[in-house]
Every structure is written in structure tokens, then in C-alpha cells.
């Protein structure tokens, strides 16, 4: 499942100081001030604690495929509040789905990130992750911004 | 096909905290029994009061307290051995900019390099579990109260049958041994024998097996429960450590439900099959640059 993908940009956004913001302490591992947007193809999705995980392939300009993994900031309990139960989530992210992902990359430089925003080919927000960042309450599907709940 | 996506700063903009208020004005005049602690209480600030995120407004943060007494030499050694993944990043400009905070809140390392026992689904222990934002249900029986925690789906027993606190128990336990009594309108729980592998809070403050944890609960409104804690542990701290006041808001059973409408606490279990075998190996550790 090759995909026409690209590594796009790193925008110098500033996330205001958020000590220990992630649900499971994982915020330390990622640099939310340097978000990256990728286009990729889903290889696996896991809806589980402590954070659902998305595995996807990204192909660079030279045709090399990089296997990425991403974790969602919301956990299943929080996703449920936004209407993103397991069946709906898995139906939205089957193997081979083409997605556009904005993530906070690993500070270690590995192909891992915390997912800030997830869109399908139609531009629909998946998993209610619309870019609110850590602590964002997942939305029912409509894209919108808004303040995050700070942990 | 390649192209660029502009990333709007707006979606990361900070706004006011959206969480639930500590007390709902609609409940202000509802009658309540100060000695009735039953029901579901939450410190979670997410709409609905459960499911990740942070604490609700004025519910207190996720640390035990800011006024940390000086450590004993043993306490300092135990503190240094604990490497948490919460708080400001160790060595970061952010950490340096907040010298007013105790170092315990300024030493976070990636979980892959940390020592947090909960990263492997080990029990949190009583004080840390109480500080965690997600809901807990007080199940009141004639001789005991069960605290049922959503996160971890843990069950803690607090005896109210008149027994005295168990001092120097033979076998430490993850939840310790808890006995309680009423002091006027304050419900006082004394806990001993807590396994010292648990942390006081998620910032990695230690305790010894000799710790005595006192919890004092006061129901101050229909939907508000206040908690003040004190840790007395001369092996680790040179003086008793008083917590910040924590507040819980009461929520009704039907507030928490699955997408199928199944009401009641969610089964939010930390299962090693998910956490250790999958998440830690495939995401957490690589994110920290650690390949095991």
C-alpha cells in the first residue's frame, strides 16, 4: 500500500507551557511546538488504553517508505464522550485508508508522534481530533478549533 | 502528489479552561446529608466529568501539594531514584523559568526513560489514585465503604466498623489498610501499610511503608466534596506534609455512559497486554528513542 505522501511543514507554533500535559505522561516525549504534517496510509489501528495508536506508512520524495506510529492524546474514555466509540473509530481507519496527519514529533527524532489532527481524503476530521492539542475533548466529527482542557 | 498544508496556530491557541465548574449553581439549594458520601464523584474537568483531560476548575491539580517538607537523607535518596514523566521537562527552559516550584515538578523525563510504576500498570496507591482526575464511586455498606476508581478500575476498602488503624502491619499492600471514623461532619480515613513502591503522586514523591496517610473528607454542598490529606512519614519527610485541598464534584450515574448508552463507570483498565506489550513497545519507547 504505497501512497503518494509527503512531508510537509513544520510550523513554529507555540504551545503555552503545559507541564505534564499528556494523559499518560507521554507529553514529555514530543515537541508540540514543532508540529509536522504528513500524508500517509494506515497500516494498523488500535483502539485501546492508554492511548489509541495509529500505524501508517509515509513515502518520501525518493520513494522510501517510512513506518510511522502515532498515539492519540485522548484515551478511549475521552473519545467516547465525543461519540468516537470503537466501532466508529475502526470503521473510519481501516487498513489502506489515506490520511493527513498533523502530529507533535518525537524529540528523539524517531518516526513517532502524538496526533494533533487527523483528516481523511474528504477532509473530514477523524476521531474528533481537530487540532485542539493535548487534553482536547474529541468532537463529533465537525472540524472546529477551540480551547483545550488543560490537564 | 505533494503539496503543503498550512497549519493554523489558532487550533492550538489557549483559551479558558472548558471544564465543569466545581459546583453547579442549580444544585446550590439541593438538600443533602453531610454524612452521605455515596455516589460518583469526579475531579475531571472534561465535559461530563470523565474521560482523560485535566482537573475541573478549582478542584486542585494532580500533585499532592506544593509545600513539600524537607526530605530526610533516606527520603532524598528515594526521591532521586524516582524519575517521573509529569511536570516540566527536566533541564528545559520551562523548568528553569519556574524556580518557585519544587524540583519534583520540574524533572519530567520521557516515559521510556522513567521509573513510574504505573507505566507498567502497577497499582497507584491511595493518595495518587485520589488525585487522579477521573471519577470514583463511593459504595457505602453498613461496615465499609468501597472506593471504586474508574481509572484502573480499582477497588479500595475503607472499614467503618469501629476498628482502629492497623499500625505496623505484617504485610504491606498496594492500597494499604484503611479504617475510618466521623469527626463531626468530617469523614476521617487513616491508612497504613501502603506498599512503598507506590508514589504519593505522579511527580514521583516517595513514601516509606511506615507512612500514615490521613484523609479528611467534608461534603460542603450537594455536589461538592472536599478532601485534605496529611502524610506523616518521618523516615522520608522531616515534617508532616499537608496536601492542597482537592475538590470533587458529584455527577449522576447516567452522566457516564458508553456510546451504546450503558451508564456507570467506564472500565478504564490499565492492562499490560495493551499498555506494556503494545503501547510501550511500539509507541512509548520509540518516541523516547529507546528500542528494547
The answer to the question of residue A20 being in a domain is: yes
Q: Is residue A34 part of a domain?
A: yes
Q: At A100, which CATH number?
A: 2.40.50
Judge whether A1 is closer than 8 Å to chain B, CB to CB. no
Structural domain includes residue A93: yes
A135 vs B267, more confident: B267
Nearest CA in chain B to A75: B52
3-state secondary structure of B56: coil
Q: In a 3-state reduction of DSSP, which class is residue B130?
A: helix
The predicted structure's pLDDT at residue A132: 65
Q: Which residues of A touch B109 (CB under 8 A)?
A: 28
- Is A85 among the domain residues? yes
Q: Say if residue B1's pLDDT is above 60.
A: no
Using CB atoms, pick whichever of A4, A14, A25 lies closest to residue B116.
A25
Domain count within chain A: 1
Q: Which three cell numbers stand for residue B74?
A: 533516606
Question: Which residues are within 8 A (CB) of B103 and not within 5 positions of it... i.e. 6 or more apart?
Answer: none
Instruction: For residue A68, list chain B residues with Cβ-Cβ distance below 8 A.
Output: none
| Residue A41 belongs to some domain of the structure | yes
Contact A78, A139 (CB under 8 A): no
Mean residue pLDDT across chain A: 77
Nearest CA in chain A to B112: A29
With cut-offs at 50, 70 and 90, classify the pLDDT of residue A130: confident
Q: How confident is the model at residue A73 (pLDDT cuts 50, 70, 90)?
A: confident
Residue A144 domain flag: no
Q: Which residue has the cell 514529555?
A: A28
The SS3 of residue B157 is strand
> Does some domain include residue A143?
no
A38: domain range?
A: 7-130
Mean pLDDT calculated for residue range B58-69: 92
Q: Cα distance from B32 to chain A (closest Cα, Å)?
A: 29
Dihedral angle, C-alpha A96, A100, A104, A106, nearest 10 °: 40
B246 strand-pairing partners: B227
Residues of A (63-122) whose Cβ lies below 8 Å from B: 69-71, 73-81, 83-85, 88, 100, 102, 106-114, 116-117
**Which of A43, A48, A60, A81 is best to mutate for the B interface (most B CBs within 10 A)?**
A81
Give Cα separations from B239 to B197, B223, B228 (angstroms).
21, 33, 16
How far A1 CA sits from the closest chain B CA (Å)?
15
Q: Note the pLDDT tens digit of each residue in B137-186.
A: 999 999 999 999 998 999 999 999 999 999 999 999 999 999 999 999 99
Q: Quote the minimal CA–CA distance from B291 to chain A in Å.
A: 10
Chain A environment of B105 (Cβ under 8 Å): 19
pLDDT digits (tens, 9 = 90+) for B97-147: 999 999 999 999 999 999 999 999 999 999 999 999 889 999 999 999 999
Amino acid at each position: 500500500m504505497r501512497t503518494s505522501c509527503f512531508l510537509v511543514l513544520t510550523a513554529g507554533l507555540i504551545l503555552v507551557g503545559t507541564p505534564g500535559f499528556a494523559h499518560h505522561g507521554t507529553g514529555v516525549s514530543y515537541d508540540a511546538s514543532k508540529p509536522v504534517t504528513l500524508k500517509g496510509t494506515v497500516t494498523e489501528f488500535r483502539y485501546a488504553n492508554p492511548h489509541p495508536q495509529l500505524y501508517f506508512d509515509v513515502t518520501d520524495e525518493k520513494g522510501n517508505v517510512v513506518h510511522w506510529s502515532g498515539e492519540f492524546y485522548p484515551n478511549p474514555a475521552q473519545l467516547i464522550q465525543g461519540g468516537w466509540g470503537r466501532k466508529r473509530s475502526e470503521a473510519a481507519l481501516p487498513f489502506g485508508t489515506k490520511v493527513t496527519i498533523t502530529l507533535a514529533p518525537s524529540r528523539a527524532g524517531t518516526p513517532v508522534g502524538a496526533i494533533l489532527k487527523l483528516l481523511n481524503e474528504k477532509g473530514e476530521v477523524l476521531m474528533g481530533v481537530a487540532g485542539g492539542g493535548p487534553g482536547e475533548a474529541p468532537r463529533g466529527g465537525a472540524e472546529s478549533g477551540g480551547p483545550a482542557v488543560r490537564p | 502528489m505533494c503539496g503543503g498544508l498550512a497549519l493554523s496556530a489558532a487550533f492550538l491557541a489557549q483559551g479558558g479552561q472548558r471544564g465543569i465548574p466545581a459546583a453547579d449553581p442549580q444544585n446550590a439549594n439541593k438538600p443533602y446529608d453531610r454524612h452521605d458520601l455515596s455516589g460518583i464523584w469526579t475531579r475531571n474537568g472534561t465535559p461530563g466529568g470523565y474521560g482523560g483531560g485535566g482537573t475541573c476548575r478549582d478542584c486542585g491539580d494532580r500533585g499532592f501539594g506544593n509545600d513539600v517538607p524537607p526530605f530526610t537523607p533516606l527520603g532524598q535518596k528515594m526521591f532521586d531514584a524516582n524519575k517521573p514523566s509529569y511536570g516540566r521537562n527536566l533541564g528545559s527552559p520551562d523548568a528553569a523559568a519556574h524556580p518557585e516550584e519544587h524540583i519534583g515538578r520540574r524533572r519530567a523525563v520521557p516515559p521510556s526513560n522513567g521509573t513510574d510504576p504505573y507505566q507498567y500498570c502497577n497499582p497507584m496507591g491511595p493518595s495518587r489514585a485520589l488525585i487522579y482526575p477521573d471519577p470514583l464511586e463511593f459504595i457505602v455498606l453498613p461496615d465499609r465503604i468501597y472506593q471504586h476508581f474508574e481509572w484502573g478500575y480499582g477497588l479500595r476498602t475503607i472499614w467503618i466498623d469501629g476498628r482502629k488503624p492497623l499500625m505496623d502491619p505484617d504485610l504491606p499492600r498496594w492500597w494499604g489498610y484503611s479504617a475510618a471514623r466521623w469527626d463531626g461532619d468530617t469523614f476521617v480515613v487513616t491508612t497504613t501499610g501502603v506498599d512503598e513502591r507506590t508514589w504519593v503522586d505522579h511527580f514521583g514523591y516517595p513514601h516509606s511503608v511506615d507512612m500514615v496517610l490521613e484523609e479528611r473528607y467534608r461534603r460542603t454542598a450537594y455536589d461538592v466534596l472536599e478532601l485534605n490529606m496529611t502524610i506523616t512519614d518521618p523516615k522520608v519527610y522531616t515534617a508532616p506534609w499537608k496536601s492542597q485541598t482537592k475538590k470533587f464534584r458529584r455527577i449522576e450515574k447516567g452522566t457516564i455512559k458508553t456510546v451504546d448508552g450503558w451508564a456507570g463507570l467506564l472500565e478504564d483498565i490499565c492492562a499490560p497486554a495493551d499498555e506494556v506489550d503494545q503501547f510501550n513497545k511500539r509507541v512509548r519507547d520509540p518516541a523516547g528513542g529507546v528500542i528494547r
